[in-house]
Amino acid sequence: MPELPEVETVARQLEPELEGHRIESLEVLDERWSRPAPAAKLGAAVSGRTIEGLGRRGKYLLLALDGEQTLVMHLRMTGNLVLVEGEDVLDPSEGRRLYEAERSTSAGHLRARFVLDDGREVWFTDPRRFGEAFLIDDADLDGRFAGKVGIEPLSPEFTPEALGAMAAGRTVPLKSFLLDQSGVAGVGNIYADEALYRARLHPLSPAGSMKPEHLVALRDAVVAALEAGIDRGGSSIDDYRDGRGEKGTMQNEFLVHTREGQPCPSCAGEIVRIVVGGRSTYFCPSCQVKLRKRPRRRRPIARPR
């Protein structure tokens, strides 16, 4: 599933290519991409609009349009947003033919296509068809994400103190804590494993068991893991491609993720795999310390004199 580094890579690559260009037409080829809005309605609402920017919030891509509206897109498990030009550009009938032909294959399904004013196109492809898009007024953006998308880990607001406030009293495992998008936005299965290894924290440790030094280590580790992913254009384990249609290389630099049975980069131990909250989790039992839940302080019992 594309996580923050993959989505950030796409946004950084495509924004300078798209900003200032007019969308001649948006053809939604799959009704599921725009639901509950009808495909034709979303296409008509976006066609003719000028792109003012492309950004990110958590794992969401934000295509800012004139008229103070934003087309919000989520890649979900297998979605890609790719700039297409030259001989690869399709006419509308060919685009629909390609989509229909690939619906039953493992190839990247063309679910929506943006035709720009210079003849280039932007394709949203998605083999498993979980990706989505919706148009929203800019004034409603913050409200739409409130309580669902938490603090941005690459922002100045992501401090050890903020992390501690989120974790206080929580008994949920650290791995599950990091995957909760209402807390830290954009961290998924890959980068949670990588961050916990960098912080030397066991994925099953209760979130509320962290001491100040652990909070500092985890905050720094989350940022370092995400920045490493961005620097390498994201992780292409399965379907992910960047905005140019190319694979990322972060998968070649994993410290623990998917490295079950291989040696730990820091010790002679072996990377193991467990399941936490239904997600495959990789870590080094020798390097990653398992913290204990802090016992509650008991109030002294008043004894009669």
Say whether 3 is catalytic: yes
**List 120, 170, 244, 279, catalytic entry:** 279
E strands within the chain? 23-28, 51-57, 60-65, 69-74, 80-84, 110-116, 121-125, 132-137, 272-276, 279-283
Whole-number Cα distances in Å, 158 to 59, 152, 189, 223, 231: 16, 7, 19, 9, 20
What does the chain come to in residues? 305
CB 113 within 8 A of CB 29: yes
Backbone angles phi, psi at 24, to 5 degrees: -65, -40
Say whether 290 is catalytic: no
**List 49, 56, 59, 113, catalytic entry:** 59
d(CA 162, CA 151): 9
**List 3, 17, 121, 132, catalytic entry:** 3
CB 126 within 8 A of CB 80: yes
Say whether 219 is catalytic: no
Active site residues: 2-3, 59, 279
